[in-house]
Amino acid sequence: MIVVTFALPAESSAFIRSLKNIRRDGAVLRGNLERQTSNAEGRRLNLPSPYPLPQGEEGAAAPSEEKYDIQSGICILHTGVGAARCEERLGNFLRNETPELLIASGFCGGTKDELHPGDLVIADNASDLSKKARAILPGAVVGKIHSADRIVDPAVDRYEIGREHGAIAIDMETETIARICAARSIPVLALRVVSDSPAAPFPMPPSVLFDIEKQRTNFFLLFSYIARNPSSGINLAQFAKQIARAKTKLADALCAVINEL
């Protein structure tokens, strides 16, 4: 079983659409990710062919392009935003589960102008499989993801964290996940997508976009802010499109990595 963690369902929705046979098991989602293999690989794995293989004159199987579906068991866990929620939920989950691999995924914020929304980031400070993942995703950026204790917004704060911690990106859960997995000898890969950066900031203050204490958006506060700042509504709509593209790119990357690892 492979576990993929996201902070919130808003981050995982595109990847969930890639899964088959989805079922809810308490606070987690379970499903299967199908991948296609050639007949040759199917025979190595002792998979039955759905169609008879054509025979040559000598009775040997002729080359065939038929495909087999091999399903990987996937479990999606939403950890919540921040170290405290993450430690509680992941710790509870791992009391009864021992995955063969855990992928810490979701959004991250860039600390440099060179990072743009939609860029994939592999955390080399929290990944046992960073080299393999980089080979699968040659366009991904590899570097440190620093887990902050708050949502970092102003560009000056992002630059400072980048310099102080040698980090190319910021989130709030990766380091906690890596520590918990290391204590249990569970291989971990941190693969995230940039949602915002100094050059592409949040469309409004983070406290308006998300209430960490309640772990949700306060829509009354959100709409009140837009009413006072009408242009922020346009910025929010553009940000939503930006996020949708980033989620799709992350989902494709996760599928590629899981299929190849």
pLDDT in tens, 154-167: 889 999 999 999 99
pTM: 0.84
Number of H helices, E strands in the chain: 9, 10
Ordered by start, the domain boundaries in the chain are: 2-50+67-260
The per-residue pLDDT of the chain, averaged, comes to 87
Cα angle: 39, vertex 45, 51; to 5 degrees: 40
Nearest to 190 by CA among 170, 205, 210: 170
Contact 173, 104 (CB under 8 A): yes
- 153, pLDDT greater than 60: yes
Q: Which residues of 196-216 are buried (b: 16+ CB within 10 A; e: fewer)?
A: bbbebbbbbebebbbebeeee
CA distance 122 to 161: 18
Contact 180, 77 (CB under 8 A): no
Residue 125's pLDDT is what?
Answer: 87
pLDDT in tens, 17-75: 999 999 998 779 999 998 655 544 433 333 333 333 334 434 444 444 445 455 679 99
State the alpha helices, DSSP H only, in the chain: 9-16, 39-44, 83-94, 130-136, 155-165, 174-183, 206-209, 219-228, 231-260
- 214, pLDDT greater than 80: yes
What is the share, in percent, of the chain residues with pLDDT greater than 90?
79
pLDDT in tens, 233-255: 999 999 999 999 999 999 999 99
| Averaged pLDDT, 185-207 | 95
Can you name the CATH fold of 2-50+67-260? Answer: Rossmann fold (3.40.50)
